[in-house]
Amino acid sequence: MKPLPIEPSLPRMKNDMTIAKAQMATTGSMPSCKGLADDITTEVMLCYVQYLMTNQRTVEAERQIEQLLDDEEWVEALPPLYAAWLWLARMTLLVDEGNHSLALGAAEQALTALSGVQGKKSEDFHAIVASLLYNLALTHHGMGENSRAAKELTKAQQLLERLTKRNEPRFSALLLMAVEASTDVIKSKTKQMNVLAHYQSVGEIYMRELASGGSGTRAAMVNLIETLGKQGDIMLEMGNSRNAVKYYTKALRYQKKLGDKMGERDLNLSIGLARALMRLINRRTAAEQLLRSLQPLAQRLNATAQQHEIEDLLNNKNKNFTS
């Protein structure tokens, strides 16, 4: 599991950062702030941190954040929402590194900063809170505190659901990541399915965004496809082959809409579908046909493990059971 992307939680800037962001994209470095007012300089610095993290320049991002946070006088003068976001950015990097103790310390600092925010009903405030909750869930999960992690993840999902209803383009990708994390953080298969079923509507959100060319939608769609595949896996484990067929079929339909050349994801989802079909007496012929059609793809991809799995399913077709 990965921390949430940092960009959607970045508070709205008071000043127009369009030119500064364009310069970062062109030069890869922070624009000169010489002669700029202090508030503009501050916002350029925050945007630069976000730029570095978005572009996976983590070492530089860590250095930039530490340099800013070490200046206590500067941090004290920051608007509380900006300070909270900066600590969230630091926590995100620490969570990604698996540094649990320091991540918890950064979360505490972020929450302290948030306590000084006046507009606690704002979208920006809740965006940071949701990201903190998600990161805390990942941290406690990594520490083996699964019950606590599950509660934090549930709260993050609920908050992101409300945010997505208010601002779909900004928060929908975060919601899907939080939903997908359920399959790792929540241990009960029944509870996993309850969460995933509750958020089935997110698929339609992504289809709309994909059609409109929404930012980040492709990555979100891939996450959705993988989540649906996991739902199919869970259904198979629980012995519910009919529902497994539904989830695998939906995942494959979304995968096809991405317009990619058939690859390993298509292969794995299709094998899952065939496995589910094989357990239904009246669908075994369809399962066999699907498996045989997948053999050339598995060979082309040099997917040895999948080739063996296909052969095993075909060789043991009469040993499968109904559900």
What is the average pLDDT across 295-307?
95
Look at residue 254 and tell me if it is in a domain.
no
The per-residue DSSP string of 227-259 comes to: HHHHHHHHHHHTT-HHHHHHHHHHHHHHHHHTT
Contact 246, 323 (CB under 8 A): no
Exposed e or buried b per residue across 30-61, where buried means at least 16 C-beta atoms within 10 angstroms of its C-beta = bbebeeeeeebebbbbbbbbbbbbeeeeeebb
Distance CA 36, CA 42 (A): 10
| pLDDT confidence of residue 25 | 94
Look at residue 207 and tell me if it is in a domain.
no
215 pLDDT above the threshold of 60: no
Look at residue 175 and tell me if it is in a domain.
no
What is the average pLDDT across 162-191?
82
Look at residue 32 and tell me if it is in a domain.
yes
Residue written as tokens 């975060």?
174
Kindly give the residue spans of alpha helices, DSSP state H, lying in 279-303. 284-300
197 pLDDT above the threshold of 80: no
Contact 287, 245 (CB under 8 A): no
Look at residue 305 and tell me if it is in a domain.
no
What is the average pLDDT across 171-187?
81
Residue written as tokens 């890869």?
28
228 pLDDT above the threshold of 60: yes
CATH for 83:
1.25.40
Look at residue 292 and tell me if it is in a domain.
no
| pLDDT confidence of residue 185 | 84
Rg, Å, the chain Cα set = 23
DSSP 8-class letter at 7: G
317 in the Ramachandran plot: left (φ > 0), alpha (ψ -120 to 50) or beta?
A: alpha
| pLDDT confidence of residue 238 | 83
| pLDDT tens column, 17-61 | 999 999 999 999 999 998 899 999 999 999 999 999 999 999 999
Which is more confident, 172 or 122?
Answer: 122
Residue written as tokens 């929402």?
81
What is the average pLDDT across 250-264?
88
Give residue 49's domain range. 1-143
| pLDDT confidence of residue 200 | 62
Look at residue 20 and tell me if it is in a domain.
yes
| pLDDT confidence of residue 174 | 86
| pLDDT tens column, 58-113 | 999 999 999 999 998 898 899 999 999 999 999 999 999 999 999 999 999 999 99
Nearest to 188 by CA among 145, 234, 250: 234
Q: How many domains is the chain partitioned into structurally?
A: 1
Q: Mean pLDDT lowest for which of 37-46, 54-63, 212-221, 240-249?
A: 212-221
This prediction's pTM: 0.73
Say how far residue 200 (Cα) sits from the centre of its chain: 15
Average pLDDT in the chain? 88
